[in-house]
């Protein structure tokens, strides 16, 4: 009976470790928690840009990976690009902002 319990415990421990490692992140993929955090950050940045009257939020794309926000799309001036970057940096959880916006 002890050997059966030992095998069960080993199996359960192995299953637990595999489950935990399956949610870990890699350099090119984010874990479940990081993905949700990135989704929340993206949503907050989009909302903040939407609430800025001088910016046309439909022209600015926002993506987040591991807390790094990438802004892309077209804006009408450098002032608008700078403002979008400033807004993105002010959102909680943002580690850095990559500006790939173009002036049209």
**pLDDT tens for each residue of 75-90:** 999 999 999 999 999 9
Global confidence as pTM? 0.68
CB crowding 12-50: b at 16 or more within 10 Å, else e = eeeeeeeeeeeeeeeeeebbeebbebbeebbebbbebbe
Contact 49, 81 (CB under 8 A): no
Please work out, in degrees rounded to the nearest 5, the angle formed at the alpha carbon of residue 52 by the alpha carbons of 59 and 35.
Answer: 65
**pLDDT tens for each residue of 20-66:** 545 445 545 555 555 669 999 999 999 999 999 999 989 999 999 99
Domain count, the chain: 1
The CATH number for 69's domain is 3.30.1340.30
Q: Which of 22, 32, 30 is nearest to 68 (CA)?
A: 30
**pLDDT tens for each residue of 8-27:** 556 655 555 555 545 445 54
pLDDT at 96 over 70: yes
Domain that holds residue 67: 27-103
pLDDT at residue 57, as a whole number: 87
Asked if residue 21 belongs to a domain, the reply is: no
């Amino acid at each position: 009976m002890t050997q059966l319990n030992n095998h069960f415990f080993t199996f359960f421990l192995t299953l637990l470790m595999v489950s935990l490692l399956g949610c870990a992140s890699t350099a090119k993929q984010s874990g479940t928690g990081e993905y949700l955090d990135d989704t929340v950050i993206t949503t907050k940045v989009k909302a903040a840009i939407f609430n800025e009257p001088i910016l046309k939020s439909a022209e600015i794309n926002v993506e987040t990976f591991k807390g790094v926000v990438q802004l892309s799309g077209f804006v009408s001036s450098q002032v608008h690009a700078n403002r979008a970057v400033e807004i993105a940096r002010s959102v909680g959880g943002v580690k850095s902002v990559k500006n790939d916006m173009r002036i049209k």
